[in-house]
């Protein structure tokens, strides 16, 4: 426990922890946006193709992936 207290008092370690926290926050914002865009493109391809069975599969896949990402 005392090791953590000593570690957090060094500015270099705190900068690394802050940088990692910043990267994680950026990933949490960017990944869902990219995923939604890619899924919209994929769904639009399924709609344009006109295959109703393919559309239903795509809808289910989109719902499942979005639930996994936002949970």
Q: Is residue 60 part of a domain?
A: yes
Q: Say what angle helices 52-70 and 11-49 make with each other, to 10 degrees.
A: 170
User: pLDDT tens digits for 35-64?
Assistant: 788 878 877 877 787 766 767 777 777 778
pLDDT computed for residue 20 by the predictor: 95
Contact between 32 and 69 (Cβ < 8 Å): yes
Percent of the chain having pLDDT more than 90?
Answer: 13
Nearest to 56 by CA among 46, 66, 44, 64: 46
Number of domains in the chain: 1
Q: Is residue 12 part of a domain?
A: no
Domain that holds residue 54: 20-70
Q: Which two tokens stand for residue 2?
A: 């005392």
- H or E segment to which residue 10 belongs: none
Contact between 39 and 65 (Cβ < 8 Å): yes
pLDDT computed for residue 59 by the predictor: 74
């Amino acid at each position: 426990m005392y090791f953590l207290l000593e570690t957090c008092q060094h500015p270099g370690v705190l900068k690394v922890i802050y940088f990692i926290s910043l990267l994680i926050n950026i990933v949490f914002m960017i990944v869902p946006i990219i995923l939604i865009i890619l899924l919209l493109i994929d769904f639009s391809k399924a709609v344009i193709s006109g295959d109703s069975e393919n559309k239903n599969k795509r809808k289910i896949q989109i719902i499942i992936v979005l639930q996994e990402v936002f949970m």
